[in-house]
Amino acid sequence: MHRPKSLKLSPRKSLEIEWDDGQVLDYPFRHLRDSCPCATCKEKKRASEGKPANPLAILAPSETVPLAIADMRPVGNYAYNIGFSDGHTSGLFTIEYLRQIGRPMPQSDTKTQ
């Protein structure tokens, strides 16, 4: 299993993880939040499948601020707990799961030699 070598917040509103094999993957905040593997988020996704979003839904104050990572802590040697600016803090992202959901770096940010 590959391990993170370094983690960096990007001005593009994303997390960049450099892995021990040299691969650098991008994790836009919205993508991370939408990929939250916690039971509450999984249940919400299941409940909303096939149903259009309510256009008259009232937003909580925390939902009106730009999404960001508010806190990120390692959990043992196998995961990170990520807290978001919308108040959601129960996401436990295993290292294996992070590797799976990572996206290639945007072309404008890749190094050319």
State residue 101's pLDDT score: 98
State residue 113's pLDDT score: 39
State residue 112's pLDDT score: 43
Question: How far is the C-alpha of 80 from the C-alpha of 91, rounded, in Å?
Answer: 8
State residue 5's pLDDT score: 97
State residue 53's pLDDT score: 62
Question: How far is the C-alpha of 64 from the C-alpha of 16, rounded, in Å?
Answer: 24
Radius of gyration of the CA atoms of the chain, in A: 15
Q: Tell me the domains of the chain and their CATH numbers.
A: 4-49+58-109 (3.30.2020.30)
Beta strands in 1-113 (DSSP E): 4-10, 14-19, 24-28, 69-75, 79-84, 91-94, 103-104
State residue 54's pLDDT score: 65
Residue 70, token pair as written in the block: 């508010």
State residue 110's pLDDT score: 52
60 Cβ contact list (under 8 Å, min separation 6): 86, 87
| Listed residue (108, 110, 86) closest to 32, CA to CA | 86
Question: How far is the C-alpha of 10 from the C-alpha of 42, rounded, in Å?
Answer: 27
* Look-up of token digits 């990929």: 35
Residues with pLDDT less than 70, the chain:
50-59, 62-63, 108-113
| Listed residue (14, 27, 19) closest to 103, CA to CA | 27
